[in-house]
Amino acid sequence: MPDNATDTQTFSADLYFATQQKPAFLQDDKLMNEVRSFIAKHKNKRVVLVTSGGTTVPLELNVVRFLDNFSAGMLPRTRGATSAEYFLKQGYAVIFMHRQFSLQPFSRNYSHSTHPFLDFLEIEENSKENKGNDQRQPQITVKPSERAALLSVLRAYKAVQAEGTLLTLTFVTVDDYLFLLREVSRAMGTLGPRAMFYLAAAVSDFFLPRQRMSEHKIQSGKGSLSIEMDQVPKILKPMVADWAVGGFTVSFKLETDQALIIPKARKALQRYGHQIVIGNDLHHRKYRVVLVSPKRSSLLNAHANPDGDLSAEYEESWIEIDSSPSALHKEIEEDIVKELVRRHDEWISRHESQL
């Protein structure tokens, strides 16, 4: 372990992975063997990794207290689970890496907090005439008003189960997320351009290295508590350059100040060299997003102008849906996924034509 691992610092990805502990679920090969066989089974398809939900940052080794990110505790996160369904519909095999207990594709339509399934079931008791000699149990049925929607979700769910095109993986902490992302991206690297990474999870920007964590529960009674945290390493860079070379990578940027979205998205593309940043603001994220990407002409000389006017090198396209209550039920993820699939197809064709 490097000597400086216990000082407050900016962790490079290498230092982070060398000093933080691999999660127990990655200590043996069981989980990653499952991931690798899923990828091998679908090697002729396009495969997308969808990350979803928020990460926690534990404050103690025997964790009682932790910080949570924009996550299931506030409102169920829907972007990842909804997008995964649309990718499946488009013929992708999906690795869905989500925060434990957060919404999942298909079952998200019947979430206990927004649409509890017990509310749309009915009990049909035996009719009076049959009572006495009829041994039938009461029947459970679905309310007529819910049947068409349930049938459609159930059909899609059963088809995905039969084809085995959905693999779900869970994380809780930022360590779980980063180690798992590294392993899964490396495994998907074998797919080259057919791999897509759709990074919608809300990942903590700061963490407490285990070398500075208290072993036991932090005790109160000593006045205020000060904790100095380190910056989580920017792992998009090694992901794009080393772990999944040739993959099509889409990251998300959430802001509350709309004016920051495009400049920060451009900066991220310039810094990490990936393909698209999807910008969204907290209050309009269900209705409006912006896709920021390098202009075709600047792809050839990427990073040629690191300090210049970035608007010359990147372009934006907005996706917006009607947010009025009278609008038909529509999910913005349907349009996002359609557009990404179109661009991913182009990406694959461009790579194949270079072979």
Q: How far is the CB of 158 from ligand PAZ (least distance, A)?
A: 25
Residues 6 or more apart whose Cβ sits within 8 Å of residue 130: 136
The SS3 assignment for 137 reads coil
The separation between CA 49 and the C-alpha centre of its own chain, rounded to angstroms, equals: 8
The Cα angle at residue 114 between residues 201 and 336, in degrees rounded to 5: 40
- The single-letter code of the amino acid at 164 is G
Reported residue count of the chain is: 355
197 binds ligand PAZ (CB under 6 A): no
- The single-letter code of the amino acid at 131 is K
Selection from 54, 343, 28 nearest residue 174 by Cα: 54
Q: Are 98 and 81 in contact (CB under 8 A)?
A: yes
Binding range to ligand PAZ, per CB under 6 A, among 86-94, 148-156, 197-205, 224-232? 197-205
Q: How far is the CB of 153 from ligand PAZ (least distance, A)?
A: 19
Give me the 34-73 binding string for ligand PAZ, x by CB under 6 A, dash otherwise. ------------------------------------x---
User: Within positions 203 to 222, which residues make up the interface with ligand PAZ, using CB under 6 A?
Assistant: 203
Which tokens hold the place of 95? 């690795």
Q: Which long-range contacts (CB under 8 A, 24 or more apart) does 120-129 make?
A: 120/145, 120/146, 120/150
Q: How far is the CB of 174 from ligand PAZ (least distance, A)?
A: 11
274 binds ligand PAZ (CB under 6 A): no
Find the binder of ligand PAZ among 210, 267, 285, 343 (CB under 6 A): 285
Q: How far is the CB of 45 from ligand PAZ (least distance, A)?
A: 25
Nearer to ligand PAZ (CB atom), residue 20 or residue 280: 280
Give me the 66-85 binding string for ligand PAZ, x by CB under 6 A, dash otherwise. ----x------xxx------
Binding range to ligand PAZ, per CB under 6 A, among 124-132, 161-169, 248-256, 292-300? 248-256
Q: Which residues pair with 97 in a beta bridge?
A: 51, 169
Residues at the site binding ligand PAZ, with contacts judged by CB under 6 A: 70, 77-79, 200, 202-203, 252-254, 280, 285
